[in-house]
Amino acid sequence: MKTLLIPVNFSGSSENIIQYAADFSCDTHVERIILLKSFYVSVYTQLLPDADFVQLSAEEIDAEKRAELEKLKVLGQQLLKKCLPTIKIKTVISDLPLLRAVHQVLADEQADVVMMGTDKALYENDPYISEQIIAIAKTSPRPVMIIPNHIRYKKMEEAVVPCDFAAISRLNAFKTYRDPAKWLHPKLLLLNVDAKHQHPEDDPKLTIGLKDLMEGYEYQVFYSEDKDTVHGILDFSRKHNPQLIIALPGKYSFFYNLTHRSITKALTLNSDRPVLILK
């Protein structure tokens, strides 16, 4: 986990993610943090007036871009002061739309994790914001960590992992992170949300399979019979108070099985702990 990529928009969630990233980097092997600002101006914006019948000139657009770049540099300086002296900070401003900009920087800079700050109020009031976050979370080739606004970093001692024991092979994803330099190694709380109770707790085959897949990790198995997957996960999290929720990759992940509307609901309701989406 050497390089973090953080898209920013200069909102309150950006300020919070800066502090979170600085504290997070002190507990991990982060060597570099990249701050990305998308300054995408569509052809329509350049050619057509806005609602107030104001059409921006090329010079005005360039001036706005320079102003955004200066704000990004200031944010980078603020982050630098909060981090350990060994960590390098880079700022990038892109003319691409946010989703394409994230993919481009991931390819160019070989970032290991995308870290995004979110704000519950923005989810509820601006569908575009939630669409962008969901699109990045679903399409990023690298793990994505979503940090709710106002959350302060806490040492990650426990993480809940919602999974479908009908497809426990998805836990294979953790083999990639056995290296301590790539992972925080919290205790993993494996949660099977199973309303139909298809997987008894004393299943010996399941026990053997988990032991093989989770070699090198401390873990504990839990069951929930909640009919609402999202509610079951969040209710469990409130009761056990882990520092992180981990979503597994692929079609058996609770995150990927949700509809667009359900994902927005899940991210909105989960306002008290980070979510890490593995790949």
Residues above pLDDT 70, as percent of the chain? 78
Residues 131 and 209 in one domain: no
* CB contact set of 70 (below 8 Å; sequence gap of 6+): none
| 115 Cβ neighbours under 8 A, 6+ residues apart | 4, 5, 6, 17, 20, 21, 24, 144, 145, 147
Q: Is the pLDDT of residue 157 over 50?
A: yes
pLDDT value of position 239: 94
Question: Per-residue confidence at 53, pLDDT binned at 50, 70, 90?
Answer: very low
- Residues 88 and 62 placed together within one structural domain of the fold: yes
Query: Is 140 in the same domain as 7?
Result: yes
User: What is the mean predicted confidence (pLDDT) over 196-219?
Assistant: 78
Mean pLDDT of 54-77: 85
The CATH number covering residue 240 comes to 3.40.50
Domain-located, residue 163: yes
**Tokens at residue 54, please?**
């104001």
Confidence of residue 263 (pLDDT cuts 50, 70, 90): low
pLDDT at 86 over 90: yes
pLDDT by residue (tens digit) across 158-195?
999 988 777 777 788 887 777 766 677 899 999 987 76
Supply the DSSP symbol for 84. -
Cα 231 from chain centre:
20
Q: How confident is the model at residue 128, as a pLDDT?
A: 56
- Confidence (pLDDT) at 101: 96
Domain's final residue, options 120, 148, 176: 148
Domain interval for residue 209: 158-274
CA distance 233 to 190: 11
Report how far residue 260's alpha carbon sits from residue 24's, in angstroms, rounded to the nearest whole number.
29
Tell me the two tokens of residue 29.
Answer: 């092997």
Return the higher-pLDDT residue of 13 and 162. Answer: 162
